[in-house]
Amino acid sequence: MPEGDTVYRAARLLDTRLSGETLLHAELRVPQHATADLAGAVVAQTVPRGKHLLTRLERGDERWTLHTHLKMEGVWRVFDGGRRWSKPAHTARVVLRVPGREAVGFSLGVVDLLATADEQSVVGHLGPDLLGGDWDPDEARRRLLAVPERSVYEAILDQRNLAGIGNVYAAELLFLGGLHPATPVGAVTAVPRLLARAHQALEVNKDRRTRTTTGDTRSPLWVYGRSGAPCRRCHTRIEQAPRGPAGRERTSYWCPHCQPAPPRAASVTG
């Protein structure tokens, strides 16, 4: 699933290429909005909210928000001058055409159109946004610790606690903190440092084409996706396991040596 930095870049692309332009044609290829008429609307802006994209439209006194979510495979692309699409047409779920270009959302997990005044109905549940103006580490910490017995892995992935962390960052941040994924979040004695690292990681990577948590784009990640490979620090084999509620499991990655298993108390170290 795309991380907050990926969504940030998608929002910037749409905002840069569409804002201020008038829609000549729009297709929302989902049953509930297939007949929506958006021609003549002006694209006011596109903003990210955690992993959600909010494209705001205006036409006269009407104000709408096109709410999209990339989920696992979604991506937005902008094509100039009638250029051929880079992905199959049958995967396009949104097409927004303005003079000289069109933006296409392929394989989007969520496509919804609602009144801008009702945006909170789709993003109001989210915790502080790591890349947003509302980032509040104290509130994020309060939410994380509200269920102290929950694993730190599940807690930082829960968008209701803080918005923007996906599976890649969850694995990498826990490695950097020396935390086994199953560690109860209430046993983490340096949650502020964990949150500071999360904020820094997304900030540093939001303008990069290649995400890295190691500082080396040739070997960009510590543990994510490296099951069976040697740890870059200690050479122990990286392990993986599904975690989370049944039916919604995600694969976690960790180094058994650098991230010893509970029950002993864990802390985020320097």
Whole-angstrom distance, CA of residue 105 vs CA of residue 95: 7
Distances in Å between the Cα of 227 and the Cα atoms of 182, 221, 243 are: 17, 12, 15
Contact present, 227 and 240 (Cβ < 8 Å): yes
Cβ-in-10-Å burial (0-12, 13-18, 19+) of 60 comes to exposed
Residue whose C-alpha is closest to residue 208's, from 6, 11, 55, 1? 6
The catalytic residue among 150, 203, 250, 260 is 250
The catalytic residue among 2, 48, 128, 181 is 2
The catalytic residue among 9, 17, 49, 51 is 51
Residue whose C-alpha is closest to residue 157's, from 175, 146, 147, 171? 171
Assess whether 51 carries a catalytic annotation: yes
Assess whether 250 carries a catalytic annotation: yes
Whole-angstrom distance, CA of residue 21 vs CA of residue 25: 12
Catalytic residues: 2-3, 51, 250
